[in-house]
Amino acid sequence: MYPAKFDYLAPETLEEALSILHERGDEVKILAGGQSLIPMMKLRFASPPTLMDINRLPGLSRINRTNGTLEFDALVRHNDVVKSDAAKANHTVSRAAPWVADPIVRNLGTVAGSLAHHDPEGDWASVMLATGAELVLTSSDSQRTVKIDDFLVDMFTTNCLPNEMVTKVRVPAHSSRGGGDYQKLERKVGDYATVGVATSLELDEGGRVAKAGIALTSVFHHNLKVPEAEAALEGERPSDELFAEAANIASQVCDPASDVRGSAEYKRHVVDVFTRRGLAKSYETAKGGLT
């Protein structure tokens, strides 16, 4: 099916783009990689009167590492993250990147676009929930920083106002005693997750868990952070038994649907296995930094 008729704008500066959103935000959809928006338009699930293509905006494709933070500009593509040395500063991010979609989609789709779209089957939102990321939302007259937990409201719904653009995504870098992982089950290479599990661990000097992050993909009506499982880990000494306890909590709080990718029971079991596996891998990296 062809998309409905729309006007096309392609501003050449950020100021121009923000001013368009200021004047016509309600009728304008930002076009970044187009890898979610265009299919939605072709299926007529979305029929925005105007598309504003941001691909000509200069200086929005950088990945910066500064003061313990990894920063992605609005036009950083999934594949930029795969290829980036800087992105290795957060292990959950660098391990998840190659799992996002297929090479063609990875060359076009953006991290910011994926978060703004908030498909519960999207991999980045779980990564960001597990790592405690925040987003910078910019409008023509203000800028605000929003924690990922507050940004993601519900499936396909975020806190981004019609006059705002996600201009940066900030992720804490792991310390030398930190580690992270992303486990993903897909039916075939490049497919959306049947189940995805993002994990992140920071250890204190004595080897106990100082901070834990766990978030799940495709097993709830939105990407699901699991604070109950994180709390079970924090302050404790890592062990297979402890990881099994956290994994059991994660498998209980998720609420997968039975579909062509598998039964709810099967997916719940995969959450259990992948959470244990992801935590063990995260710990493997983190304990390398213990002296």
Ligand X SMILES: Cc1cc2nc3c(=O)[nH]c(=O)nc-3n(C[C@H](O)[C@H](O)[C@H](O)COP(=O)(O)OP(=O)(O)OC[C@H]3O[C@@H](n4cnc5c(N)ncnc54)[C@H](O)[C@@H]3O)c2cc1C
User: Site residues (CB under 6 A) for ligand X?
Assistant: 29-37, 39, 74, 100-101, 105, 109-110, 112-114, 116-117, 119, 122-124, 160, 165-166, 192
Give the whole-angstrom CA distance, residue 272 versus residue 264: 12
Closest contact distance (angstroms) between CB of 74 and ligand X is 4
User: In what order do the strands lie in the sheet containing 143-147?
Assistant: 63-66, 69-73, 165-172, 134-138, 143-147
Nearer to ligand X, 115 or 232 (CB): 115
Q: CB–CB of 91/181 below 8 Å?
A: yes
**What CA–CA distances, in Å, run from 251 to 138, 237, 283?**
37, 21, 20
Nearer to ligand X, 100 or 173 (CB): 100
Nearer to ligand X, 124 or 274 (CB): 124
Give the whole-angstrom CA distance, residue 282 versus residue 57: 37
Closest contact distance (angstroms) between CB of 129 and ligand X is 13
Closest contact distance (angstroms) between CB of 184 and ligand X is 8
Closest contact distance (angstroms) between CB of 137 and ligand X is 8
Structure tokens at 239: 């062990």
Phi, psi of 204 (to 5 degrees): -85, 180
Closest contact distance (angstroms) between CB of 285 and ligand X is 23
Which residue sits closest to ligand X, CB atoms considered? 109
Closest contact distance (angstroms) between CB of 118 and ligand X is 8
Nearer to ligand X, 135 or 286 (CB): 135
Closest contact distance (angstroms) between CB of 93 and ligand X is 13
Nearer to ligand X, 70 or 100 (CB): 100
**DSSP string for residues in 137-174:** EE-SS-EEEEEHHHHEEETTEES--TT-EEEEEEEEPP
Give the whole-angstrom CA distance, residue 223 versus residue 214: 11
How close are the terminal C-alpha atoms of the chain, in Å?
Answer: 60
Nearer to ligand X, 18 or 254 (CB): 18
Nearer to ligand X, 11 or 289 (CB): 11
Secondary structure percentages of the chain, helix, strand, coil, to 5? 40, 25, 35
